[in-house]
Structure 1
Amino acid sequence: MMKQKLSLKGRALRYLSMREHSRIELVRKLSPYAEEAEEVEVVLNWLEASNFMSAERFSDSLVNRRSSRFGNQRILAELQTHQLDDVEIQRVKDNLSESELERALAVLHRKFPHAPVDFEERLKQSRFLQQRGFSGKSIQGAMRVEREDEAE
């Protein structure tokens, strides 16, 4: 028996059933299967109108997947690559800023369970958080908490 070819709408729904996708991702994934670019736009407009695809759900999903490992700067940079509107990015930024210090502490303690013993180790831990996209303020706060724990 031969497999039936999936329509663009079927492919899009299959992708969205696995995880939330941005409009840009779906354009990239569906374009090879479309005969004309307009077909993809029609399907994407239908998905948005039917509430199968949502920029808000996509951004919440991405933040949920990334927030346990990365800082605000890295998450927001990734959201910008998906060409979300400024209002959505600002909403996410406001929500993330409340928890950045706690997330930095969790990431730091998971990777480095012990406090730094010297300046080099302190720099190593700070650079680790910086590479993960945490702000300087959160890094300083996390490093201060680390030292206070050791003093007790």
Structure 2
Amino acid sequence: MLEFDNDLDKFKAIKEACLQYLVRREHSQKELLRKVSEKGFARPDIDLVISELAEQGLQSDARFAESYARSRVHRGFGPLRIKTELQQRGVGDCYFDMAVEDIAGSWQALLMQVYEKKYGASSSTIDIKELLKRSRFLQQRGFSTEMIRELLKNL
């Protein structure tokens, strides 16, 4: 058990707050720290509790990254956007690579699926203005310029 200046009640309160968030969904350590800090607990105390939860396997940045990436892939977001969002949530690149390895399958197939859902499967002639508009949409979804160029070339 961790030491909190012999204040077992504070430890229990912080742990309970963390567990309340983790029961609902996976959270990164950074998210947990931010949310529990808002409840008025001191950061060093929260860090200790989160470290203990991670050691016990109750909190895992790897699990969070996988869960988050899976939900974003299913909503049609590309690798660049998912990676950026994970970094904003305090999850490093290595977790991103592990998380999306099996989830996405083929990014190009996902890109085609997103494109067809938005614009349909028809490959009628498109003027340059419309092509740029579609390209911007796909970039905002998190697909690289090279991926989009390849897609548009194959249409």
Check whether TM > 0.5: yes
Could you give the per-residue CA deviations for residues 86-113 of structure 1, whole angstroms, max 9, x where no partner exists? 4323434655785211111111111111
Map residues 1-152 of structure 1 onto 2, 5 A cutoff.
7-68=13-74, 69-92=76-99, 99-113=106-120, 114-115=122-123, 117-119=125-127, 120-145=129-154, 147=155
Unaligned runs of 5+ in 2: 1-11
| Count of aligned positions | 141
Question: Cα–Cα, structure 1 residues 116 and 23, in superposed 2: closer, same or farther, change >3 Å?
Answer: farther
Could you give the per-residue CA deviations for residues 31-71 of structure 1, whole angstroms, max 9, x where no partner exists? 13244222211210121011011111011011011113211
Question: Cα–Cα, structure 1 residues 100 and 128, in superposed 2: closer, same or farther, change >3 Å?
Answer: same
CA distance in 2, matches of 1:35, 1:140: 50
Contact 1:66 1:75 in 2 (8 A): yes
Contact 1:71 1:100 in 2 (8 A): yes
Question: Cα–Cα, structure 1 residues 35 and 71, in superposed 2: closer, same or farther, change >3 Å?
Answer: closer
* Structure 1 range deviating more: 119-128 or 43-52: 119-128
Scaled by the length of structure 1, the TM-score of the pair is: 0.80
Contact 1:8 1:34 in 2 (8 A): no
Question: Cα–Cα, structure 1 residues 99 and 18, in superposed 2: closer, same or farther, change >3 Å?
Answer: same
Query: Root-mean-square deviation (CA), in Å?
Result: 2.2
Unaligned runs of 5+ in 1: 1-5, 148-152
Q: Percent identity?
A: 32
